[in-house]
Structure 1
Amino acid sequence: MAEQQATASSMILVEPSLLNVSGFENALARGWSPDPRRQQDKAYVEAELAALRHDRVGFLTRLTSSDVIATSVPDRESQRLVLRPFWIWDGEFCGYITFRHLPGTSHLPLHLPGHVGYSIVPWKQRRSYATQALRLLLPLAAQAGFERISVICNEDNLASRRVIEKAGGMLHRTGADPSDAPDTVKLFFWLATVGGL
């Protein structure tokens, strides 16, 4: 256990770049999906890998574009979304975490119930990396003017719930997410960026 904590404490967040993209590529080649909702979607992973190998610069530009248009809510006007992606790094690629929000406000986009998305590669799980990544993201969110951020998980995802609670998440409601299956219950947490809630 002490070894795992030491490993997590030496973990950092790095911005995606050509210098470290090979770790992301290797993770895709091993079948990992950067989208947690598509972990079993082999076609998606293979398409991402092919796009990366075809045009590394273009792939990174798409991945790191901090200003994207979100259009996934039917009958609603498109919303511009700010994305700040980071790779979780312990000397090699461990996964990613993304901070997302509407420009100039702490409000969430219509189609996103949480400010944060993250995924750890399977061979780096159970080392407290996701919890540490959330903790490292908090001062970055504070710098962007956020006093708290929203993080969600499925009600039946006990591992993700533990990650969020260990990072300081406080449950504030349960409910459905319009972008997910109607029978999927979500847990909505607030995470204070500095001090307490």
Structure 2
Amino acid sequence: MQIVIPTLDHLPGYIAALERGWSPDSQRGEVAAREELARLRLDELLFIQQQQDREALGGPVTLPDGSQGARIPGFKMWLWDGEFAGVISCRWQRGTTELPPHCLSHIGYNVVPWKQRRGYATQALAQMLPLVRAEGLPFAEITTDPANHASQRVIEANGGVLFERFIKPASFGSTEGLRYRISLVPPEAP
């Protein structure tokens, strides 16, 4: 399994996953999947180009409660094992490690259900970290739910350390979350 820059060649697998009921947005589920299908059917090439939006040129992002927040720079990579297997994304604000309240973490990932429990999320995160480091971040924050033990194992396997327990903003349901940090600064040589 490798992470790849989305291309038109990969798009049929992405469409098939959406049509099977998978959603790249675990919070908004089916609604987000329908929106993705509608967007890509309007202009497949533009959809692919928008997967790499390091200048935040796309429109606002829709939050779980339906409200919207300003887009920030970011990019998405797709998990690929000969066919589409999921998505991993990175977002940041230039010149700071801080994120706006409507963006809970620097990295998010989602593996299609029929490819879970194969270590793909762990591999994808490991492959993504050098790309995040290349954007100039000294660390990456990743959030998960307290009950999502699989995600916690993925983060910890990649060097993540629990940084804080927090209450998510109202737009995310005001539920408890866990925020991990992964250092992207190489350790000093002895």
TM-score range, shorter chain: 0.7 to 0.9
The answer (yes or no) to whether the contact 2:25–2:32 under 8 Å persists in 1 is no
**Aligned equivalent of 1:122, options 90, 109, 113:** 113
Counterpart in the other structure of 1:151: 142
Match of 2:38 among 45, 50, 53: 50
Query: What is the TM-score with the length of structure 2 in the denominator?
Result: 0.84
Match of residue 25 from structure 1: 15
Aligned-partner SS, 1:139: helix
Q: Paired residue for 1:65? A: 53
Deviation per CA, 1:129-165, whole angstroms, max 9, x where unpaired?
A: 1111111111111111122110000111111111111
- Say how many residue pairs are matched: 180
Which deviates more from structure 2 when the two are superposed, residues 103-112 or residues 81-90?
103-112
Residue of structure 1 equivalent to 2:89: 98
* Offset at residue 28 of structure 1 (A): 0.7
* Aligned with residue 172 of structure 2, among 148, 157, 180: 180
The question of whether the paired residues in 2 share the 8 Å contact of 1:150 and 1:191 is answered with yes
Unaligned runs of 5+ in 2: 64-68
Preserved contact between residue 15 and residue 87 of structure 1 (Cα < 8 Å): yes
Are 1:36 and 1:118, in contact at CA under 8 Å, matched by a contact in 2? no
Q: Which runs of 5+ in 1 are unaligned?
A: 1-10
2:173 is paired with a residue whose SS is coil
Moved more, 48-57 or 129-138: 48-57
Task: Write the distance in 2 (CA, Å) between the matches of 1:195 and 1:127.
Answer: 28
One-letter amino acid matched to 1:56: E
Following superposition, the deviation at residue 32 of structure 1 comes to 0.5
Paired residues of 1:72 and 1:111 also in contact (CA < 8 A) = no
Listed one character per residue, the Cα deviations across residues 69-111 of structure 1 (whole Å, up to 9, x for unaligned) are: 65779xxxx7561111100111211100001001232221231
Partners of 1:149 and 1:48 in 2: how far apart?
26
